[in-house]
Amino acid sequence: MRLYEAKMAPYPRRVKIYLAEKGIELDRVEVDLHGRENRSAAFLKKNPSGKIPVLELDGGAFLPESAAIMEYLEEIYPSPSMLGDTPEQRAQTRATDRVASEIFTVLAQMLMHTHPAALQFHPGLVQHRQVGEALQPLVDQLFDQLEERIGSQSFLAGPRPTVADCTLFALIDAVSLGFGFVLPERCPRLRAWYKRFQERPSAKTM
């Protein structure tokens, strides 16, 4: 199998953190986003949306979408489990991961419309500050949900890291580096989780 990825981009990094936690080694191909390699005819044959990551399977098929890639690899490499060992654990992990994934989308949109750094990353972007401000209550609500869900657990969905941790850490690290974002002070358990996860070897993967 071969993974098409890009440095620092949060969705590919989500998969790279997952691979490091699982100890899975794959061939990797760096896609030049700045050079718009992902919009080339050759790459669009792999993924018509032009998005990364993309996993090339041994049979020659291509699998897009970071969540689908992690689910597929869980089927191929079930141990150590990054979803949970029981039906309840897997359900709780997926529920937590869905909240983290929604934060992934909504927080990115909020920052795109409110933060001046977004104009550096996306020249020509037309910002609508009212759009970003309208999303703030939803972002707050989603972080409050995760603050409640983590409780006293070491990781977002239990005592071991799961795909939910890969999802949220990849996002928070990206917006921290790119936009100076910090987790809300009213979420001390999430802030403590982020500091702990930063020390994991998987968090060093870029």
Sketch out the chain's domains with CATH numbers: 2-76 (3.40.30.10), 87-204 (1.20.1050.10)
Instruction: Decide the pairing of beta strands 54-56 and 2-5.
Output: antiparallel
pTM for this entry? 0.92
Interval 87-143: pLDDT, tens: 999 999 999 999 999 998 999 899 888 888 877 777 777 888 898 899 999 999 999
Radius of gyration of the chain (CA): 17
Tokens, residue 173: 């690290």
Q: Among the residues of 77-152, which ranges form H helices?
A: 87-114, 117-121, 129-150
The neighbour count for residue 83, using CB atoms within 10 Å, is 19
CA angle 164, 144, 103 (to 5 degrees): 45
Interval 20-39: pLDDT, tens: 999 999 999 999 988 889 99
What is the C-alpha separation between 119 and 104, in angstroms, rounded?
Answer: 19
CB contact set of 162 (below 8 Å; sequence gap of 6+): 82, 83, 84, 93, 96, 97, 155, 156
pLDDT reported for residue 201: 97
What is the C-alpha separation between 170 and 180, in angstroms, rounded?
Answer: 14
